[in-house]
Amino acid sequence: IMEKYPHITAIGCAAHGLNLLFNDIMKLDTLQMVYRRAKEVMKHVKGTHIVAAVFKKKQVEKNAKNSIVTLKLCSKTQWAGVVISFESLLKNKEALQETVIVEDLKVPRSVRNTVLDQDVFWVQLQNSLKILKPIAAAITASESDSALLSEISYLMTKIKTTVFENLSISPLTTIEESKVKDFI
C-alpha cells in the first residue's frame, strides 16, 4: 500500500507489538524459571483438593472473606496474564507459607522450598513484576476502546523508563538485561 500510495502510512497494531515484546522478555531463561516455579506452586495448590481446602482456610484466617484473592493461572495465549498470576501469588504469600508447613499435607519438596524461599523466589517474583507490569499496563491501555495512537509514544517511553530503572534489581542476568534493552 505504501508503495502505491506514498501519502498513506501503515501502522501495525500497538497491542500486538507490546504482546510480542512481553513474549520476548518472558522467553528469557531467568523469567521462565520464575514462571515455572510460580506455576508449579499454583497448580499444586489448586489441583490438590486437600491442599486447596487448607489454603482456602488460611486465606480466610489472613484476610477478610471479601478480600480474598484467588490464585490465577495465566492462559497460554496472553502473556500479560503472568502479571495477574504473580500478583495473586504475592497477595497470598502468607496463606501459602502457612499451608505448606501443615504437617499432614503431602506437599512436594520443590513446592514447599519455593514457597518458603524468602530470599530468592519471593524477591524474584516481586522484582520481575517491576519489569513486566508496565508492559502489561501498556497492553491494556492500547487494547482499550478509547486507545489513541498518539498515546503509544508516551506508553513506550514509560515502559522504557520504568523497565530500565528496575533492571538492576531484576533477577535477570547481565546478558538478559542487555537483551531487554535491545528489545525495547
Could you tell me the pTM of the whole model? 0.85
**In this structure, what C-alpha cell is assigned to residue 31?**
523469567
Write out the DSSP string of 47-65: H-HHHHHHHHHHHHHHS-G
User: What sign has the CA pseudo-torsion 99, 104, 106, 107?
Assistant: positive
Provide the pLDDT for residue 69.
83
What's the whole-number mean pLDDT along residues 26-38?
95
One-letter amino acid for residue 2 of the chain? M
Provide the pLDDT for residue 149.
82
CB atoms inside a 10 Å sphere around CB 92:
24
Residue 169 pLDDT grade (very low, low, confident, very high; cuts 50, 70, 90): very high
Are the beta carbons of 99 and 51 closer than 8 angstroms?
yes
Q: Which residue has the higher pLDDT, 76 or 156?
A: 156
Site of grid cell 502510512: 9
What's the whole-number mean pLDDT along residues 35-39?
94
What's the whole-number mean pLDDT along residues 92-116?
92
Q: For residue 142, which of 7, 2, 11 has the smallest C-alpha distance? A: 11
Q: Is the pLDDT of residue 81 over 90?
A: no
